[in-house]
Amino acid sequence: MKPPFRVKICGVARPEDARVAVDAGADALGLNYYPGSRRFVSRETAEAIRDAVAGEAQLVGVFVNATISEIAAAVEIAGLDLVQLHGDEPPEFVSELRATGGRLAAIPVIRAFRSGRDLRDGMACYVQTCSSRDAPLTAALIDADAGRHYGGSGKTIDWSAFRRLRDRLADLPLILAGGLTAENVEQAIAVAAPDAVDVASGVESAPGRKDPVLVRQFVATAKRCFKHSS
């Protein structure tokens, strides 16, 4: 199975930052719909970001324990291409998304998992349950355990452990997140061998404000590494 993208700039909260990321070559932009996040986007901002990139990159809605109706509204308003579940949503929630009908029923779903001692078995069980309910995931994202927060902590994960997940997850694309920067993404790709990478705080000058230089460096390095590894 092919990954939905290679390089995702997450936590994009301003139209001008979306434009910078797309011009740098990013494949996807993450829009954070979690009100507790410092990178939260309002309906109006999401629409402005959509208009700024005009279909030049995939828009990924990042949700934390949102309701089906909240996700459906965001998908419709911003024209989201993918949904990323980053909270405590059980496999049953993924199948509920699939049962809604309309555009939401067909939209690809990425499930984020926090790294930790129980990740390997728990993640495999989750993935298998989704498949058994006819609601297979499009990809899995592995992020650092941020405690009471849901991502964007800047903490790195064990890249070697990430690589070992493959023997339990068949061909499900794996996205590496957590503490990535322009300085370490080359090593991260070499060690972890992910299908895609996701960065938020590692390319920021402040939460929700992307640094154009860091964005360009990150995307260029990641794209070069993926090209050489393919």
Reading the chain (230 residues) residue by residue, the pLDDT tens digits are: 889 999 999 999 999 999 999 999 999 999 999 999 999 999 999 999 999 998 899 999 999 999 999 999 999 999 999 999 999 999 999 999 988 888 889 999 999 998 875 577 789 899 999 999 999 999 999 998 655 555 555 578 889 988 888 767 768 999 999 999 999 999 999 999 999 999 999 999 999 999 999 999 999 999 999 998 76
Q: Which of 17, 27, 143, 198 is catalytic?
A: 143
Q: How far apart are CA 215 and CA 26, in angstroms?
A: 9
Q: How far apart are CA 117 and CA 132, in angstroms?
A: 25
Answer yes or no: 143 catalytic.
yes
Q: Tell me the pTM.
A: 0.94
Q: How far apart are CA 75 and CA 109, in angstroms?
A: 12
Sequence spans of domains, the chain: 7-229
> Of 150, 151, 192, 153, which is closest to residue 174 (Cα–Cα)?
192
> Of 83, 116, 113, which is closest to residue 98 (Cα–Cα)?
83
Which of the listed CATH numbers 3.20.20.70, 3.40.50.12280, 3.30.420.310, 3.40.50.12160 matches domain 7-229?
A: 3.20.20.70
Per-residue buried b or exposed e for 79-114, using 16+ beta carbons within 10 Å of the residue's own CB: ebbbbbbbeebebebbeebbeeeeebeebbbbbbbb
Tokens at residue 220, please? 């260029």
Answer yes or no: 130 catalytic.
no
Q: Which of 10, 17, 81, 195 is catalytic?
A: 10
> Cβ(165)–Cβ(176) under 8 Å?
no
